[in-house]
Each structure stands twice: as C-alpha cells, then as structure tokens.
Amino acid sequence: MQRMKAAAGSVLISDREIRDRVAEMGARISDDYRGRAITVIGILKGSFIFIADLIRQVDPAIPVELEFMTVSSYGSGTTSSGKLHIGQDIESPVEGKHLLIVEDIVDTGLTIARICDLLASRGAASIRIATLLEKETRRGHPLTLDYIGFRIPDKFVVGYGLDFDQRYRNLKEIRVFDGG
C-alpha cells in the first residue's frame, strides 16, 4: 500500500491551545452580549470548525441564530487574489439584528471589510467580528477586530478548517504549510 504523507508542516498552534483560547473567546462574547440575541454570520468555508466550537462556548441563555455566507478570495494559490467572490448569501434579513461575523483568518482584511460594508448597508443594528487568526503583518484595511484568537506571522497556515487547495481542513491543529 502506498504511504500518504500525513502532516502539512510544523505545528504553529496545538489543538489544546485552540480549545483553551476558543473557550476564553466564548466567555467574553457571552459577557458582551448578555440580554441580547446574536446572529452569527459564518464565512465559509474556512471558519466551519471554529464556528462549531465557538458557538458551543456561548452561554446557552443567549439566543444564537446562525447564518452562512460562502466567500472566497484565494482561489487555489497561497496569496489573496484581491477579488471577492460571494457564492452563497445568507438567507434571513439582518435588519435590526446584532451580527457577529465569524472568520477563520484575517489576512489583508479585504474580505471582512467588504462583508461588513454589505451587512451594514442591509441595516444591521450592530456588527462585531470574531476571527480565530489575524496576520501580524496586516495593513491596508484599518477595521476593528473585536475578538481575536491568535496573532500569527505572515505564513500560509492550514488546518482546523483552513486549507491549501481544499486540503488539510480536517487537521486538529494549525500548521505552517510547507508545500505538502
């Protein structure tokens, strides 16, 4: 039987570290939204594991609605194409709702800035952003990220939902991609 190479590169953030940080983020979100309902807008595909873990760390007394948007800017490369492609849009109106946009990674900030503009134009009552990862080198789009899991160096990372050319999303940890 042919042996398959399992890992994609060195571990940057372990599954244990992710679990602990996501629990802290959920606790902060619970404190901040007490008495209000949250509409979580998950930006697919990369954030799907983070969303699943994060919303289970929100106090069950806080009503949580879930919507998804499918957005892509990388294509099959390792740098952003700069062009935002919205595939699937959310299904419900957001007017008057408190939105929490959930991303896996903010790199240039282009994606999240465009999504915020779009949802603000639809009349959201408030918009906050939660991202698992933020690139330390980010510049260009000076928008506030309300909940940040980890700031990471300018490396291409995979795992815990993040892919290279649709692979490695199923890794439990975040790894620096070494070319496969």
72 near ligand PRP, judged by CB under 6 A: yes
Residues 158, 12: Cα–Cα separation, whole Å: 10
Binding pattern for the stretch 29-48 against ligand PRP, x by CB under 6 A and - elsewhere: --------------xxxx--
- Cβ proximity of 133 and 106 under 8 Å: yes
Number of shown-chain residues binding ligand PRP (CB under 6 A): 19
Closest to ligand PRP by CB, 58 or 158 = 158
Binding span for ligand PRP by CB under 6 A among 4-12, 59-67, 73-81, 92-100 = 73-81
Told to judge if 107 belongs to the known catalytic residues of this protein, a careful annotator would answer yes
Q: Does 7 bind ligand PRP (CB under 6 A)?
A: no
Q: Which amino acid is at 71?
A: V
Among 28, 62, 74, 145, binds ligand PRP (CB under 6 A): 74
The residue nearest ligand PRP at its CB is 46
Residues 6+ apart with CB under 8 A from 82: 73, 108, 110
| Cα distance between the two ends of the chain | 20
How buried is residue 4: exposed, middle or buried, by Cβ count under 10 Å (0-12/13-18/19+)? Answer: exposed
Contact letters for ligand PRP, residues 98-137 (x by CB under 6 A): -----xxxxxxxxx--------------------------
- CA nearest neighbour of 85 among 44, 40, 124: 44
Angle at Cα 73 formed by Cα 150 and Cα 85, nearest 5°? 130
Paired with 150 in beta bridges are 133
Q: Which of 38, 41, 129, 163 is the binder for ligand PRP (CB under 6 A)?
A: 163
Selecting among 107, 154, 163, 165, the annotated active-site residue is 107
Active-site positions?
107
